[in-house]
Amino acid sequence: MKIAIVVQGRFHAFDLGTALIRRGHDVALFTNYPRWAMRRFGVDPARVRSFPWHGVVTRAYQRTGSLALAHRCEPPAHRWFGRWAARELGREPWDVIHSWSGVSEEILRSPAAASALTLLMRGSSHIATQRQLLHDESTRVGVDLDRPGDWMVARERREYELADAIVVLSSFSARTFVEQGTDPDRLELVPLGVDVRAFSADARARSARIARIQRGDPLTVLYVGALSYRKGLLDLMQVVRAPAAASLRFRLVGHVMPEGRPLLASRPPNVEVVGKRPQAELPGVYRDADLFLFPTIEDGFPAVLAQAHAAGLPIITTPNGAGRDIVRSEDDGWIVPIRRPDAVLERLGWCERNRSALADMIGSACQPGRSRTWDEVAEEFEAMCIRRLERRAGRRVRHAG
């Protein structure tokens, strides 16, 4: 198949694209990353159509940290990218156009979309659900959080209607679309993968982790991701400040959002805050931990959950992301409700009191074949495209008849 992947940045598009290429498909990536930078992500620059000026402008206003400026710049920036992509796509025919939500309205209304299967990638929950969850969290924490505005909500709703199908990454996201009135037949659930070879814990790392736990060393609880209220920062800090957590070590790895700086400034001494790390360094970060905690309020599919799972870490997370798709039994970890630090503390307390059982979980969680690879994702994406294309062709034949 000839597949166009259109993304205003990187996200997981590069991993999916390279895996589809390995399966023999003719794939082109339309992105605002410069072509010269693509080799470091394992992407052949010849496969890339780049709009770098969009990336420069977008990063410039995002770095100011001003939500008001970002919301003013968002409409022209998204339309700018969408018009560019629509023009580029129109230069040749495509079997499949897989484009990211927010920048796809111009694409979906263009002549290029008329002859292709159009798949809209929505990386989070339904935008109306996302806005409501973030509104509620903003009220709870007393901080004006970044959340979709009226313009973006209306634009994405139009995109949902224009696309042949909407691709979501987790069962949680799929449920929010159904709750918002989307026909389930228009949804495709394609969870993400992970570089299993890079993140899997080898026998030495597994043995070292089990030995730490059985010796009674302080358990190291790892968090990886942006330190923001959207990711459950308020609950995370309530956990680390609880007397019951004083014997644990917490390592928080990721960019500290401006909203979180005052909260983290008063963290207890058993909490280490590490800045954002390159992905190449993350396998070592997971290797040195004993548990993974991710109390997110709203997510589509946090890649860090797949990474932690591949690394053999028991996971404590919420259902508002990919939790239920990754944590499928108590061999993998536990699902706790959002905004429930007491439930997190209960799980952590169990781990502290039941170290032999926790060590057994580590051995079970490190078994090969438990994590989903990018090649498996590409195979599933391919099958979905073929099924949708065949259905589309069948409708056309019946209509002609």
Q: Which residues contact 57 (CB under 8 A, 6 or more apart)?
A: 73, 77
Average pLDDT (211-230) is 96
Nearest-CA neighbor of 326 among 171, 184, 167, 123?
171
Q: Give the integer Cα–Cα distance in Å for 351 and 344.
A: 11
Question: What's the token pair of residue 3?
Answer: 């597949």
For residue 76, which amino acid is it? Answer: P
Q: Answer whether 5's CB lies under 8 Å from 17's CB.
A: yes
What ranges do the domains of the chain cover?
2-193+374-400, 196-365
Nearest-CA neighbor of 191 among 324, 90, 318, 101?
324
- Cα four-point dihedral sign 19, 24, 25, 31: positive
Q: Do domains 2-193+374-400 and 196-365 have the same CATH topology?
A: yes
Confidence of residue 284 (pLDDT cuts 50, 70, 90): very high
Residue with tokens 């590069």: 14
User: Given this model, what pLDDT does residue 331 score?
Assistant: 79
Least confident of 106-110, 280-284, 377-381: 280-284
Confidence of residue 54 (pLDDT cuts 50, 70, 90): confident
Question: What's the token pair of residue 20?
Answer: 């589809």
Q: Which residues contact 17 (CB under 8 A, 6 or more apart)?
A: 5, 27, 29, 43, 47
Between 13-22 and 374-400, two packed helices, what is the crossing angle to 10 degrees? 80
CATH class of 2-193+374-400: alpha beta
Confidence of residue 399 (pLDDT cuts 50, 70, 90): very low
Burial 34-58 (b: 16+ CB within 10 A, else e): ebebbeeeebeeebbbbbeebbebb
Q: Give the integer Cα–Cα distance in Å for 283 and 200.
A: 8
Q: Give the integer Cα–Cα distance in Å for 225 and 53.
A: 27
Beta 315-317 vs 333-335: how paired, if at all? parallel
Strand partners, 291: 221
Dihedral pair phi/psi, residue 8, rounded to 5°: -85, 65
Confidence of residue 368 (pLDDT cuts 50, 70, 90): low
Please give the C-alpha separations between residue 149 and each of 104, 127, 146, 163, 298, in angstroms, as whole numbers. 17, 10, 9, 21, 16
Q: Answer whether 94's CB lies under 8 Å from 2's CB.
A: yes
Give pTM, 2 decimals.
0.92
Confidence of residue 369 (pLDDT cuts 50, 70, 90): low
CA 50 from centroid of its chain's CA atoms:
23
Question: What's the token pair of residue 44?
Answer: 């052949």
Q: Give the integer Cα–Cα distance in Å for 27 and 94.
A: 10
Longest dimension (CA), the chain: 74
User: Given this model, what pLDDT does residue 365 score?
Assistant: 63
Confidence of residue 224 (pLDDT cuts 50, 70, 90): very high
Q: Which CATH superfamily includes the segment(s) 196-365? A: Glycogen Phosphorylase B; (3.40.50.2000)
- Report CA dihedral (174, 116, 109, 11) to the nearest 10 degrees: 50
Average pLDDT, the chain: 93
